[in-house]
Structure 1
């Protein structure tokens, strides 16, 4: 059985290129590093380093171990982070990572009712677009993630995660004040084929290209941003029109911007994700329950 502490020392020696540099990086003495490498070589049953003159070289066995060391250490690190996350959840602290429009709508509604009913629960909020938010759950950097997917563009959910459907978020087109189509309740994207466009996050941009292609045109994307406020401001300034989720309509901060439904109906699915081992813990269940209630209220709008 390889000792993980010695494996970490070995990885540092390979990365830095010398026992001396590894000792400096790890805060060890050089004899301590040498002692750990010798012990690891005994565990491996063969030398991991040789010297050619004044140069230290990694042996064939060392090269084989080095190829696995980073992955092994990464898995150990992920396990430690997930255990730390579990300890925080048992103490009633839940770290939620959500995309911007959910942070501006679903999360405030959910946290307000949660704290009214359960003031001892503590929620820490992070912001990230998918798939980064799901990666944070997997590595233990957060406990619960809100993510979204478009038809035909949904990424496969890792088997370690439980998926909880929340809502269907209908897409709208954002138009500047004075645009001729503002007078309409809903518009077809083909009617905007000659417009300039402002695109959202990378996943949203891919979806924009897809739904415009279905309408028979390629949008002239002149600007891209994953900042909802910037996107609204660009539309208000007349830079272009944009497609956005209905969730942003409740926090439009530009009087010069109007949202109109898209025909035919285009939606994205919004869901919550947590490690399967954590989803039934009381703190996680409470936060999920209130997020689902907030989503149901939005669904009913």
Structure 2
């Protein structure tokens, strides 16, 4: 059985290039680092380093262990974070990570209901676009993650996660109020083939390129931002048009911007995700209950 402390020291030696630098980085003495590497070599039964003059090189066995060390340490770190998350959840402290438009719409109402009914629950709010939010969940950096996906672009869900569908969010097109098509209730994407465009986050941009291709054109993207307020300002200033989820319409800040239904109809699926073993915990259930309730009310509007 390999000692994780020895693997950590080995990884630091490989990363820094010497026992001396590794000792400095870890706060050890150089003899302590040497002893740990020797102990690791006894555990593995093979030498991990060889000297080439003044330089130290990995042996073939050392190269093999180096390829696995970062993964081993990453998994250990994630396990430790998830255990700490479990303790926080049992104490009624929940970290929720959501994408910007959800943080501006679903989260405020859900958290207001939660705190009104269960004032003992404490919530910490983080922000990240998918798939980063799911990576944070797997790494134990948050307890509930909100994410979205587009039709035909769903990735396989890791087995340790549970998906809770919340709502379908239709796409709209943001236009300056003086645009010739702004008087319509709905706008066909193909009618805007000659427009300049502002693209959003990587996932939204990929979907935008996909639906434009289906509409028969390659969009002229002149600006890219995942800041929804900046997006509105750019549309208002006439820099370009934008395709945005309907959630964004809930916090349109510019009177010079209007949203119209996009045809053909496209929707993104908004879901909450939790670690499977955290699903039954009361704090997790309360947060999910609030999110489901708010999402259902929004769909019904």
Please report the TM-score for the alignment, with normalisation by the length of structure 2: 0.97
Which residue of structure 2 aligns with residue 215 of structure 1? 215
DSSP 3-state at the match of 2:154: coil
Shift of 1:118: 0.3
Distance 1:162 1:203 in 2: 21
Shift of 1:159: 1.4
Q: Which stretch has the larger CA shift, 180-189 or 131-140?
A: 180-189
* Residue 162 (str. 1) matches residue 162 (str. 2): yes
* Residue 60 (str. 1) matches residue 74 (str. 2): no
**Paired residues for 1:244-283 under 5 Å:** 244-283=244-283
Distance 2:50 2:156 in 1: 45
**Paired residues for 1:1-301 under 5 Å:** 1-301=1-301
Number of aligned positions between the proteins: 301
- Tell me: CA distance 1:34–1:259, structure 2 relative to 1, closer, same or farther (3 Å): same
DSSP 3-state at the match of 1:296: helix
Q: Which stretch has the larger CA shift, 123-132 or 8-17?
A: 8-17
Distance 2:62 2:212 in 1: 53
Runs of 5+ unmatched residues, structure 2: none
RMSD (Å) for aligned C-alpha atoms: 1.1
Distance 1:101 1:290 in 2: 17
DSSP 3-state at the match of 2:181: helix
Please report the TM-score for the alignment, with normalisation by the length of structure 1: 0.97
Distance 2:257 2:24 in 1: 57
Distance 1:220 1:63 in 2: 47
1:172-197 deviations in Å (ceiling 9; x for gaps): 11010111111111111111112111
Shift of 1:60: 2.1
Runs of 5+ unmatched residues, structure 1: none
